[in-house]
């Protein structure tokens, strides 16, 4: 079943807010509607499964691991009408042009990713993707300190907040990261 026009949807927020679960929910609905779905994920993300997009809660969907954005076009099947991309913040900047190209061809593109890095700064191409999207949903988690809504990701090193000058990309889950509200998010600069 072909779409009348393409679109870009971005699901963003902190870690543990349900981005991948929402991505999988939308992809499953597309399959129910008999649409041809293909899913991609950065090869760097091997936390749960190399060949599946997997949420922290255990939901999963088959995916093709890619090294760079251009790999999406080389793996794309001609009858695909919906493309899902998880952890979009880890994919190189060419992702923006590729997503635009797909949407202009009539493909519905659904991306999920962190909008901010552990420092609370815009992450990768996510800000540009959000600006160009027809739909943006920013989800919130629960602050692990106070229980309030959380929009930030706290990286921990030996149980303490990571320093501002620590590496931005370190793939991990609950052993390295917590969801935090603005008040409890800490990034020491010294």
**Which amino acids are annotated catalytic?**
87
C-beta atoms surrounding 102 within 10 Å = 22
In the structure encoding, which two tokens stand for residue 136, read together?
Answer: 């943006």
Each residue of 155-180: b (16+ CB within 10 Å) or e? Answer: bbeeeebbeeeeeeeeeeeeebbbbb
Q: Report angle CA 11, 34, 82 to the nearest 5 degrees.
A: 35
CA dist 14 and 117 (Å) reads 8
């Amino acid at each position: 079943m072909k779409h009348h026009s393409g679109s870009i949807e971005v699901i963003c927020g902190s870690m543990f807010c349900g981005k991948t679960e929402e991505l999988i929910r939308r992809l499953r609905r597309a399959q129910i509607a008999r649409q041809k779905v293909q899913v991609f994920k950065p090869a760097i993300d091997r936390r749960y499964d190399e060949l599946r997009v997997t949420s922290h809660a255990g939901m999963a969907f088959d995916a093709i691991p890619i090294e760079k954005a251009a790999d999406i076009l080389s793996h794309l099947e001609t009858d695909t009408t919906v493309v899902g991309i998880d952890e979009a913040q880890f994919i190189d900047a060419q992702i923006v042009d590729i997503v635009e190209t797909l949407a202009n061809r009539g493909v519905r593109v659904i991306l999920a990713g962190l909008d901010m890095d552990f420092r609370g700064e815009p992450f990768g191409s996510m800000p540009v993707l959000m600006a160009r999207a027809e739909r943006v949903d920013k989800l919130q988690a629960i602050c692990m300190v106070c229980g309030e809504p959380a929009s930030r990701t706290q990286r921990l090193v030996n149980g303490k907040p990571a320093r501002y000058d620590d590496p931005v990309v370190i793939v991990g889950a609950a052993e390295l990261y917590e969801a935090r509200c603005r008040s409890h998010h800490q990034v020491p600069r010294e």
